[in-house]
Amino acid sequence: MEPGTNVLNLVIQCSAGVFWTIAYLLMIRKGNRDLTYAMPLAALGANISWEALYAFIIPPPHPDPTTWVAQVTVNAVWFIFDLLLVWQALRYGPKEFPGIARAAFFGTFAGVTVLAFGTVVMVNVAFDDRYGVHAGLGQNVMMSALFLAMLQARRSSRGQSVGIAVTKMLGTLCAGGGAWLYPATEELGQAVLVPYLTLVCLLLDLAYLVGLLIVRRRERATRPTDVPTSPEESFDDRTADELPLRS
């Protein structure tokens, strides 16, 4: 059976799309609530570059028209979500770096995004990455590491939630696992980087999830007991508070 027609492959790839869509929506919501950006800046630059390239410039050459339309549509929707995250970064980002002038912050973010776009293009050329698998997994390794760095830098769960951590981890695991188990090309089926990068993402995401749970537990311990929970508290935050953390 061809990979593109395999039912399990379809389920895995659809799951990846659903998990990442939820992750995007939770990031946008959390960023608006906490008045900050919810995706690390360099990762955001790489993310929007990947989606721009594979949605509008060189869409993945799926032979099945339905699969092609679905993939391009999802990439385009994610690009729109990334535009909202970029708006949050430009609006709230400068206050996260008080020692840097606003113009310098904007210029740095623009420069990082341009470099990220060039890197995604070069990976496409070097690996014949027509489906964006190597570039996508590579930038997800960077993103997972930068989420850990952001947690350390902020020393709080501001702009972050367990819901975001879990859905982005599952989304990347499904995308990488699907690309490895059901490769779109023979070359991808022999690519050792695909399972390796997927495993690295999983390990980093698990480390981030554990770290975030520890921070959330510490925040709960220091929260005044006489302060009632806000009725507007988001579902993903309530879920984070309710998750037990074993020692």
Instruction: Look at residue 79 and tell me if it is in a domain.
Output: yes
Instruction: Look at residue 238 and tell me if it is in a domain.
Output: yes
Please tell me the predicted confidence (pLDDT) of residue 226: 55
Instruction: Look at residue 234 and tell me if it is in a domain.
Output: yes
pTM for the predicted model, two decimal places: 0.87
Name the band, by pLDDT with cuts 50, 70 and 90, for residue 235: very low
pLDDT digit string, tens, across residues 65-103: 888 898 899 999 999 999 999 999 999 999 999 999 999
Instruction: Look at residue 38 and tell me if it is in a domain.
Output: yes
Instruction: Look at residue 136 and tell me if it is in a domain.
Output: yes
Average pLDDT, the chain: 89
Domain span including residue 217: 3-221+230-242
- SS3 labels along the chain: CCHHHCHHHHHHHHHHHHHHHHHHHHHHHHHHHHCCCCCCHHHHHHHHHHHHHHHHHCCCCCCCHHHHHHHHHHHHHHHHHHHHHHHHHHHHHHHHCCCCCHHHHHHHHHHHHHHHHHHHHHHHHHHCCCCCHHHHHHHHHHHHHHHHHHHHHHCCCCCCCHHHHHHHHHHHHHHHHHHHHCCCCHHHHCCCHHHHHHHHHHHHHHHHHHHHHHHHHHHHHHCCCCCCCCCCCCHHHHHHHHCCCCC
Please tell me the predicted confidence (pLDDT) of residue 202: 98
Predicted confidence (pLDDT) at residue 112 exceeds the cutoff of 80: yes
Instruction: Look at residue 212 and tell me if it is in a domain.
Output: yes
Name the band, by pLDDT with cuts 50, 70 and 90, for residue 120: very high
Please tell me the predicted confidence (pLDDT) of residue 225: 65
Instruction: Look at residue 21 and tell me if it is in a domain.
Output: yes
Name the band, by pLDDT with cuts 50, 70 and 90, for residue 165: very high
The total number of structural domains in the chain stands at 1
Q: Average pLDDT for residues 4-20, to the nearest whole number?
A: 85
- Top-confidence residue, 133 or 224: 133
Name the band, by pLDDT with cuts 50, 70 and 90, for residue 62: confident
Please tell me the predicted confidence (pLDDT) of residue 237: 52
Please tell me the predicted confidence (pLDDT) of residue 191: 87
Predicted confidence (pLDDT) at residue 231 exceeds the cutoff of 60: no
Instruction: Look at residue 247 and tell me if it is in a domain.
Output: no
